[in-house]
Amino acid sequence: MKISIVGTGQLARMLALEGWAMGMEFSFLDTLEASSTCVEGLGPVIRYQAGTQARELYQQLGSPDVITVEKEDVDTRLLTALQEYCFVYPDPSIIHICQHRGRERELLDSIGAPSVAHEKVSSVNELHAAIRRIGLPAILKSCESGYDGQNQWSLETQADVDTFTENVSEFTPSILESRVSFKRELSIILARGVDGRYSVYPLTENFHSKGVLLTSIAPAPNIDALLLSQMDDLVMRFISAWDYVGVLAIECFETDNGLLVNELAPRVHNSRHWTQFGADTNQFQNHLRAISGMTLGQTHARGCVGMVNILGRAGTSDIICHSNSQVHLYNKAPRPGRKLGHVNLLEQDRQRLEQKMNQMLLDIYGESEVKLLKNMQGFFRIPELQHDISQAY
Ligand code: AMP
């Protein structure tokens, strides 16, 4: 089975490493300027040049059986054209929806999935009008090219709004969202095969710092029957609306009124890296199984599992040497805040797991920085401040 992955980051790396073990072959497609160190040695990397025809590209990729993606920021017209030559999963029309927050919100509204109060805004005037209706604090998120808290601005007070509007040079189409005071962040993760059968992983609890995922724990503790039924309801809504193939994450906030969907990730995702060590079948294998028409593997958790991200810290692999742990490094050059790797931990006891995760955070970041990271849950600021704080990494 030959598989091509659009993108050359760590998700492509982990997909290919898993696939090699299953006898699959890989090629990768990315832009001219993208760094491809993550996939070094795992298959040829084809650089896309504007104007290249789909047929030529398909041949350059080695005539794959299936094409998939490791990111949403891809040319969906090109993917649609490639469907003439091989399978492309998930369907480009689904990626097209998820790569734009406006389209994603329309989809959520149309299938009745509860989400945060929001409005589309395309100008300063529309922003002011939306703030009058939604109120402050709010978050302004660019419709495109926004992930891990990028291209997002926290508007807590009128002074923040004034600073933002005074400094904005070009207003890109955005979504203004109410800032939710959530109890925690939970991911619903499912895999669906070509035959329509699907399997759902246990709910995962995520902790973000400054908009970037820092830790995950699965199965998420304190899940009551109401949350479980909301999860089932959301899964059914997506499964009925989409002919989805592959792994899908539905990122949610748990609030006093239950789950609110924040965003969708139609691909393998950081919040499910714990599955590599703590689930019967990890997300990478299940994604490959799904897109290649194989039967899906079991999605049970094998205990209490945690994942700690290594953000912008090189040379940490020596200090991460705990029992029941597994280290993944992505072969990336270190830069402040950059995702360089992660550690998975498996215990049978949740308290023990949490102690070990805290120790792991201290080993990687040191005491003062851990305090800072823990205080910055879902952190957003106006751009200048965002830049200042990022130096802390
Ligand atoms: P996103 O890029 O939308 O995934 O946002 C990154 C992180 O920012 C989320 O995981 C949350 O921690 C936080 N966040 C995003 N949207 C909101 C919101 N409307 N209210 C509160 N926190 C948010």
Ligand 1 centroid–CA 295 distance in Å is 34
d(CA 80, CA 8): 20
Model confidence band, residue 57 (pLDDT cutoffs 50, 70, 90): very high
Ligand 1 touching residue 177 (CB < 6 A)? yes
179 CB under 6 A from ligand 1?
A: yes
Predicted structure pTM score: 0.92
The whole-angstrom distance between residue 367's C-alpha and the CA centroid of its chain comes to: 27
* 71-90 residue pLDDT tens: 999 999 999 999 999 999 99
Q: How far apart are CA 122 and CA 116, in angstroms?
A: 19
Which of the four pLDDT bands, split at 50, 70 and 90, describes residue 380? very low
Q: What is the pLDDT of residue 94?
A: 97
- For the chain, what percent of residues have pLDDT higher than 70? 92
More confident residue, 363 or 216: 216
Which is the closest atom of ligand 1 to the Cα of 149? 2
Return the higher-pLDDT residue of 185 and 383.
Answer: 185
Residue 267: pLDDT over 60: yes
| Averaged pLDDT for residues 259-273 | 96
Tell me the CA–centroid distance for residue 102 and ligand 1, in Å.
15
Ligand 1 pocket, residue 184 CB under 6 Å: no
CA dihedral 11, 14, 19, 24 (to 10 degrees): 70
Instruction: Give the residue range(s) of CATH 3.30.470.20 domains in the chain.
Output: 184-392
Architecture of domain 184-392: 2-Layer Sandwich (3.30)
**For the chain, what is the mean pLDDT?**
91
Confidence (pLDDT) at 314: 66
| The pLDDT of residue 387 | 31
pLDDT digits (tens, 9 = 90+) for 98-127: 999 999 999 999 999 999 999 999 999 999
Nearest residue (CA) to ligand 1, atom 12: 378
Look at residue 390 and tell me whether its pLDDT is greater than 80.
no
Maximum Cα–Cα distance across the chain: 58
Topology at the third CATH level for domain 117-178: Dna Ligase; domain 1 (3.30.1490)
The pLDDT of residue 388 is above 60: no
Please report the atom of ligand 1 found closest to the CA of residue 146: 2
pLDDT in tens, 318-358: 666 677 899 999 999 998 889 999 999 999 999 999 999 99
Supply the pLDDT for residue 64: 98
Q: Where in the chain is the domain with CATH 3.40.50.20?
A: 2-88
Say if strands 118-121 and 325-329 run parallel, antiparallel, or are unpaired: unpaired
Tokens of 238: 């997506």
Q: Choose the weakest-confidence range: 33-42, 261-270, 289-298, 310-319.
A: 310-319
Stretch(es) of the chain classified as CATH 3.30.1490.20: 117-178
Give yes or no for residue 381 having a pLDDT over 60: no
> What band does 376 get if pLDDT is binned at 50, 70 and 90?
low
pLDDT of residue 212: 87
The residue-averaged pLDDT of 166-192 equals 93
147 in ligand 1 pocket by Cβ < 6 Å? yes
185 in contact with ligand 1, CB cutoff 6 A: yes
Of the candidates 208, 270, 185, 200, the one whose C-alpha atom is nearest the C-alpha of residue 238 is 200
Describe the crossing of helices 124-134 and 158-167 by its angle, rounded to 10 degrees. Answer: 170
Average pLDDT score over residue span 353-373:
87
**Is pLDDT larger for residue 53 or for residue 391?**
53
pLDDT at residue number 383: 36
Q: How far apart are the CA of 211 and the centre of ligand 1, in A? A: 6
Report pLDDT for 318.
64
pLDDT tens profile 127-162: 999 999 999 999 999 998 766 666 788 899 999 999
The pLDDT assigned to 324 comes to 87
Q: Does domain 2-88 have CATH number 3.40.50.20?
A: yes
User: Which candidate, 215, 219, 236, 141, places its Cα nearest to that of 180?
Assistant: 141
Q: Whose CA is nearest to atom 18 of ligand 1?
A: 179
**The most confident of 278-292, 335-349, 378-392, by mean pLDDT:** 278-292
